[in-house]
Amino acid sequence: MSKTVTAMEARQNFGNLLNQVSLQKEEVVIERAGKPLAKMVNVDSETSGMLDFRDIGKLPNHIWEEDS
């Protein structure tokens, strides 16, 4: 089961969310302005470590630029 929190809630409750993910094997979706940005999953989860390129076109172009 997945829980959704805002970025501010994630910041304020990071330790509790980390416990939920690690101990209760719960997934936490973090969103900003109603849009999902990240997902916290247990490292032993079936989906951890998998890359999902389905929405790669929605990523901002600047992440592909090399830092100078």
Which residue ranges make up each domain of the chain? 1-43
3 state SS of 56 = helix
8 A C-beta contact, residue 45 and residue 25? yes
Is 15's pLDDT higher than 90?
yes
* Fold that domain 1-43 belongs to in CATH: YefM-like fold (3.40.1620)
Rounded to two decimals, the pTM is 0.64
Instruction: Summarize pLDDT for 33-53 with one digit per residue, the tens.
Output: 999 999 999 888 776 566 666
Q: Rg of the Cα trace of the chain?
A: 14
